[in-house]
Structures are given as C-alpha cells and as structure tokens.
Chain A
Amino acid sequence: AQSVTQLGSHVSVSEGALVLLRCNYSSSVPPYLFWYVQYPNQGLQLLLKYTTGATLVKGINGFEAEFKKSETSFHLTKPSAHMSDAAEYFCAVSEFIIQGAQKLVFGQGTRLTINP
C-alpha cells in the first residue's frame, strides 16, 4: 500500500523567504502525486499534481514541486513567501482501486507559518 511522509509538522519562514515543504512517498507503481492546501475552516484546495511527463510541476499561487523518482520525493517550494500562504499543506499519493478509480493517501500535513 502507498504511504506518504511529510517531514516537519510545522514550518515557519519569514515573509519573502523561500518556502520548502518536504514530502516522501512509498509506492509500488509509478505514482500520481498531489499537493493540497487547507485554510482554516475550509476544505482542501488542489495546488498542483504530477501524473506523467515533466517532473517539475507548476501550480497555483506561485508554488511548484519536483518529482524525484530516485529519492521518492515530491517537495513543494515557493521562492518568496507571502502572508497569505499561511495554511496547512498536505501531500497525497493516489492508490488505485480499480481501473479508473483512485483514492488518496495523505500525509499528516505541515502547518506553514509566515512571520512578518
């Protein structure tokens, strides 16, 4: 079964600094990988996804992630943090149920705090 490990339950950076949120996955097949963001009292919003093709994936709000098969990693980055980036971030991997059906396996989440 697939699994996801997010290193660091809480990350704090200064406004304008680089954001790096770490995600490692375990999968027996080529994975589909996702990053979701959750703002307080809201559901999950998709930031970006990797399915096939280019390993550097660009998402919304200036975020990007790089799929590294050799390291089984899918770290999320943003060059310059903004106060509005403060939220909980979840990395997820698809686990296929049957053809065309998938369920998501999530990491425990990383809470990102931005210091002014």
Chain B
Amino acid sequence: DAGVTQSPTHLIKTRGQQVTLRCSPKSGHDTVSWYQQALGQGPQFIFQYYEEEERQRGNFPDRFSGHQFPNYSSELNVNALLLGDSALYLCASSFGDRDYQPQHFGDGTRLSIL
C-alpha cells in the first residue's frame, strides 16, 4: 500500500525563479493538502484540493498556486521565489468526505532559495 509520495526530494532555486512540486496521494485518498514548514517551526496550511478544485486557502500570497488532476495527484507552484520561501513543503492526503480521518503526510520536498 503506497503512502503519500512527493517529488523531488530536494530542490535548489534562485530568487525570482518558479518551481513546481508534485504529490501523489495515498491509495484511495481523494483530497490533497499542502503545508509549508519553515526551519524550526510547525507546518502551516497553504491550501487544500478536492475534486480538482481549491477548497480552502491559508494565509499565503497568490504566488502560491496549485492544481489537482483527475487521478487525485497534485502540484504546488510557486512563482517569483523569495528567500523566505525556503522551507520543507509537505503534502498530505485524506478522504474528502470523512472529517474524522487523519491526514497522511509524505516526506516532503526541501526547497532552498539562493
């Protein structure tokens, strides 16, 4: 039973560039959430996708955007990268209509901005 998989594991970019991170949910899950974890901090909610639509967004600028595909996989795009975007980006999956089910996390993508 494959868990949540994320790619790439590490990425180095420079300021002003754009980046795309990818996530495949756990088998059977249909909802994907993205979180940003800065060094020494707890994860912060970016947004959640369900049925290929953004269901909720956290306090992140429009430079952060996403997409969900018919197979439930998801992408996180960040434009005009800033030094402050350096963080571990975590993807979590869950069942969309079962509010008591926990979210399952991938190992994350470590993004470094130079």
- What residues of chain A have their CB less than 8 Å away from a CB belonging to chain B? 4, 32, 34, 36, 41-46, 49, 51-52, 90, 92, 94, 96-109
Contacts and interface: CB of A to CB of B under 8 A. Distances in A.
B100 A32 contact: yes
7 nearest CB pairs, A to B: A106-B42, A100-B97, A43-B105, A44-B105, A97-B56, A43-B107, A51-B100
B24 to A, nearest CB: 13
B33 A109 contact: no
B96 A43 contact: no
Contacts, number: 73
Interface of B: 4, 6, 31, 33, 35, 40-45, 48, 50, 55-56, 58, 90, 92, 94, 96-100, 102-108
Contacts of A109: 40-42
Given A43-B4, A101-B55, A103-B33, A90 B105 contact: no
17 contacts: A32-B99, A34-B102, A42-B108, A43-B90, A49-B102, A90-B43, A99-B99, A100-B97, A101-B31, A101-B48, A101-B96, A101-B99, A104-B33, A104-B92, A104-B103, A106-B43, A108-B41
A11 to B, nearest CB: 15
A107 B43 CA distance: 8
A52 B55 CA distance: 25
A101 B48 CA distance: 9
Given A43-B107, A101-B96, A104-B35, 17 more contacts: A32-B99, A36-B105, A43-B108, A92-B42, A94-B99, A100-B96, A101-B55, A101-B99, A103-B48, A104-B33, A104-B43, A104-B45, A105-B45, A106-B42, A106-B44, A108-B41, A109-B40
